[in-house]
């Protein structure tokens, strides 16, 4: 469906608003710490909306559309394996709490303090290379999404030259994100991502109700029931023919979520931006509420499209979609564009503009965050450690902006030439493993184990990256291009002839193997090391090393986990109460409201996890009919919708309060030009390797 002038007006208004805010935020950016980490002034609601929007992205929407179109509601069932893991990670403040206590502005800065400068440089190079390769497909996937959703021509005429529409659309989106990033750094990114996040929440709810008016719930279920019996979109226990997104996929992803939690540096500016470790922890906890509306978008939109393509009453729309898809030669791109093309046939004028603006907002929010992250990492963790003296503030900011521009140029060129031949999620996992394969062991060990050594870090990171690169070469170069020739050259080698045409492991499975090997080597080489244990109190700024700007009393092991010895002296009732809060991970930073949110989070996630366990047992032993599953999915959608509406209103109020506090704090804050991410000699916890 071609966009109406109303739709273009909505899109233009959003873009003008973003640019205006970016220009206003420029006056707030006065130091390197401002540009890199928002001067560590962001509150929880601002963070949870902005960081969540940065992690959403048009490419993430497209990846989720792929997943739920292939697996249907069943993907949501197996996805519940991840729910208790995410809850425990968020509620415990795992990694993020201690990382914020280190006061590092990039993960590699933490690596220098915890391990050595040489290791920081090595890790920074790996993070940068892994990151730009991972990000390299973002502009192309996003641009194709917009082209096929908006029914734009695949080619355009410019001064007599025929160009693919992909190029100017990518150039426009990258230019917009680049402008936001260069003007105000992390401050502009936080503010614009927050506003875009609020906009997206509202558009998701509008889209859901509009699509429900086009295809009723009963019609949706009828369409889903037309799927093959062993590729059911309703029953998660009838998915023998489902491609890729099965139970094994979610089990491996669950393990990788724990191992690599907060290790990926695509949004590293947000990791350093909270105004305290507690605000960082609460932002993660609140993310569960924020995610409800996004879950509606990810799960239901592709299912509405699936139903439309299979219901006879929508044959005209289905024919238009299939005609468009038939013009795409690359089969994997055809898979990616099925849902965006289908959505364009379902939404009326006005809502089409809102949805297109939402996709552009999602694209820009991820692009500006990734441009900022990878450009900053290149400067902070690759270039700066080689210098014997720090740069001036002006030169430092100029270098950061040049690096960010370079990342944008690389992404544009890479997107034009790279042929994506597998699911987006699989590509994410294997390119991310170049860095994440060893980073999870190095980060968790460095924050929680005083015996973790430089030798262990080198072993985990180097072996993890070598295995990941080997996997990429095997899967994308050696196996598809050379294996057929080998089979022809050795016709009598039965073992060679028996090898499959495609590589037997997907990106997720390969990432899991890399992580296990890295953990083993980190532990082994750390135990073999003769270095003395590191000073964890100094690393985390605790006790005599406490830093006043945390606005909290010095941390002890007891206060981090919520146990106050004074409570035990006050009486048995208070002692039991303190022990209860300690056991569920609450410390003295929690207000009564924080505790209420915390307990609700636990109860909500526990309910769905136990429902998953009990439902799985019943399905395997007794069996659950499709009618039973349909009732469960209706209940899930209703609960998700209620929480989605409630959290949108809640975060709108809390978010704007945090936004005004951020602006007020930045206007009056004193800047420290030495706070530029450099590590002074006295900060090292052990000798250099």
Q: Which domains does the chain have, with CATH numbers?
A: 5-552+589-683 (1.20.1730.10)
> Residue 491, SS3?
coil
Q: What is the DSSP letter of 381?
A: I
What pLDDT is stored for residue 553 in this prediction? 43
Q: Which of the pair, 453 or 83, is modelled with greater confidence?
A: 453
pLDDT band at 365 (very low <50, low <70, confident <90, very high): confident
CA dist., res. 213 & res. 423, Å (int) = 31
CB 515 within 8 A of CB 440: yes
Q: Which of the pair, 482 or 224, is modelled with greater confidence?
A: 224
CA dist., res. 17 & res. 192, Å (int) = 9
What pLDDT is stored for residue 563 in this prediction? 41
Dump the DSSP string for 168-196. Answer: HHHHHHHHHHHHHHHHHHHHHHHHHHHHH
Q: Which of the pair, 202 or 259, is modelled with greater confidence?
A: 202
What pLDDT is stored for residue 244 in this prediction? 55
Q: Is the pLDDT of residue 499 over 60?
A: no
Mean pLDDT is lowest, of 311-325, 484-498, 655-669, for 484-498
What pLDDT is stored for residue 550 in this prediction? 42
528-551 as b/e: b if 16+ CB within 10 A: eeeeeebebbbbbbbeeeeeeebe
Q: What percent of the chain has pLDDT over 70?
A: 82
> Residue 59, SS3?
helix
Q: Is the pLDDT of residue 503 over 80?
A: no
> Residue 42, SS3?
strand
What pLDDT is stored for residue 494 in this prediction? 57
What pLDDT is stored for residue 335 in this prediction? 79
pLDDT band at 62 (very low <50, low <70, confident <90, very high): confident
CA dist., res. 130 & res. 428, Å (int) = 10
pLDDT band at 68 (very low <50, low <70, confident <90, very high): confident
Q: 457-481, pLDDT tens digit by residue? A: 999 989 888 887 787 677 666 666 5
CA dist., res. 362 & res. 299, Å (int) = 17
| pTM of the predicted structure, to 2 decimals | 0.75
pLDDT band at 558 (very low <50, low <70, confident <90, very high): very low
pLDDT band at 60 (very low <50, low <70, confident <90, very high): confident
What pLDDT is stored for residue 404 in this prediction? 93
Mean pLDDT is lowest, of 452-461, 494-503, 655-664, for 494-503
Q: 514-542, pLDDT tens digit by residue? A: 888 888 999 999 998 888 888 888 888 88
CB 267 within 8 A of CB 127: no
Torsion (CA) 99, 101, 103, 106 in degrees, nearest 10: 0
What pLDDT is stored for residue 559 in this prediction? 43
Mean pLDDT is lowest, of 244-248, 262-266, 384-388, for 244-248
CA nearest to 64, candidates 591, 424, 501, 314: 424
Q: 588-635, pLDDT tens digit by residue? A: 778 888 888 888 888 888 888 888 889 989 988 988 888 999 999 999
CA dist., res. 455 & res. 442, Å (int) = 10
Query: How far is CA 673 from each of CA 159, 192, 391, 396, rounded to the nearest angstrom?
Result: 49, 25, 10, 10
Coarse DSSP helix, strand, coil percentages of the chain, rounded to the nearest 5 percent: 75, 0, 25
Residue 181 corresponds to which tokens in the numbers above? 């990033």
What pLDDT is stored for residue 555 in this prediction? 44
Torsion (CA) 222, 223, 224, 228 in degrees, nearest 10: 110
CB neighbours of residue 12 within 10 Å: 12
> Residue 163, SS3?
strand
Q: 129-147, pLDDT tens digit by residue? A: 888 888 888 888 888 888 8
> Residue 498, SS3?
coil
């Amino acid at each position: 469906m071609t966009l109406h002038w109303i739709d273009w007006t909505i899109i233009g208004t959003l873009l003008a608003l973003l640019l205006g805010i970016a220009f206003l935020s420029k006056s707030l950016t006065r130091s390197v710490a401002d540009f890199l980490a928002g001067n560590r002034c962001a509150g929880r609601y601002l963070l949870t909306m902005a960081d969540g929007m940065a992690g959403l992205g048009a490419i993430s929407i497209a990846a989720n559309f792929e997943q739920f179109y292939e697996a249907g509601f069943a993907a949501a069932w197996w996805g519940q394996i991840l729910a208790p893991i995410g809850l425990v990670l968020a509620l415990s403040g795992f990694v993020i709490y201690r990382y914020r206590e280190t006061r590092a502005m990039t993960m590699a800065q933490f690596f220098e303090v915890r391990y050595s400068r040489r290791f920081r440089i090595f890790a920074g190079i790996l993070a940068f290379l892994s990151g730009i390769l991972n990000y390299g497909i973002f502009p192309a996937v996003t641009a194709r999404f917009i082209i096929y959703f908006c029914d734009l021509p695949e080619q355009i005429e410019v001064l007599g030259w025929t160009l693919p529409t992909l190029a100017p659309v990518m150039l426009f989106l990258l230019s917009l994100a680049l402008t936001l990033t260069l003007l105000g750094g992390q401050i502009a990114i936080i503010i614009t991502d927050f506003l875009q996040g609020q906009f997206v929440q509202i558009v998701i709810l509008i889209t859901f109700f509009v699509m429900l008016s086009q295809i009723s719930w009963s019609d949706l279920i009828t369409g889903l029931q037309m799927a093959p019996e062993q590729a059911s979109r309703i029953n998660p226990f009838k998915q023998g023919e489902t491609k890729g997104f099965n139970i094994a996929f979610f089990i491996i992803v669950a393990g990788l979520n724990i191992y690599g939690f907060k290790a990926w540096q695509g949004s590293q500016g947000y990791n350093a931006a909270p105004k305290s470790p507690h605000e960082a922890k609460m932002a993660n906890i609140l993310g569960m509420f924020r995610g409800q509306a996004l879950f509606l978008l990810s799960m239901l939109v592709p299912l509405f499209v699936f139903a439309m393509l299979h219901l006879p009453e929508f044959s005209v729309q289905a024919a238009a979609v299939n005609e468009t898809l038939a013009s795409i030669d690359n089969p994997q791109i055809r898979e990616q564009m099925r849902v965006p093309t289908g959505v364009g046939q379902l939404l009326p004028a006005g809502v089409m503009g809102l949805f297109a603006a939402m996709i552009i907002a999602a694209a820009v929010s991820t692009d500006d965050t990734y441009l900022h992250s990878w450009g900053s990492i290149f400067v902070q963790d690759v270039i700066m450690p080689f210098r014997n003296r720090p740069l001036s503030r002006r030169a430092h900011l100029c270098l950061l902006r040049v690096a960010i521009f370079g990342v944008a140029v690389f992404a544009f060129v890479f997107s034009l030439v790279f042929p994506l031949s597998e699911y987006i999620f699989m590509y994410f996992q294997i390119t991310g493993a170049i860095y994440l394969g060893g980073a999870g062991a190095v980060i968790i060990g460095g924050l929680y184990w005083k015996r973790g050594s430089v030798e262990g870090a080198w072993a985990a990171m180097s072996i993890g990256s070598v295995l990941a690169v080997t996997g990429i070469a095997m899967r994308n170069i050696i196996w598809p291009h050379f294996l057929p020739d080998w089979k022809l050259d050795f016709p009598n080698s039965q073992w060679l002839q028996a090898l499959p045409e495609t590589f037997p492991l997907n990106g997720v499975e390969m990432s899991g193997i890399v992580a296990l090997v890295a953990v083993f080597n980190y532990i082994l080489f750390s135990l073999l090391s003769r270095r003395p244990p590191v000073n964890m109190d100094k690393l985390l700024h605790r006790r005599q090393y406490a830093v006043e700007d945390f606005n909290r009393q010095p941390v002890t092991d007891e206060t981090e986990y919520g146990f106050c010895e004074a409570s035990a002296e006050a009486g048995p009732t208070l002692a039991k109460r303190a022990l209860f809060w300690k056991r569920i991970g609450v410390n003295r930073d929690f207000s009564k409201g924080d505790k209420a949110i915390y307990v609700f989070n636990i109860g909500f996630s526990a309910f769905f996890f136990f429902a998953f366990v009990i439902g799985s047992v019943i399905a395997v032993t007794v069996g659950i009919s499709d009618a039973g599953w349909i009732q469960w999915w209706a209940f899930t959608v209703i609960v998700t919708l209620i929480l989605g509406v409630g959290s949108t209103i809640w975060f709108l109020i809390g978010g704007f309060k945090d936004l005004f506090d951020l602006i007020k704090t930045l206007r009056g804050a004193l800047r420290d030009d030495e706070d530029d991410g450099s590590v002074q000699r006295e900060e090292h916890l052990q000798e250099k390797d």
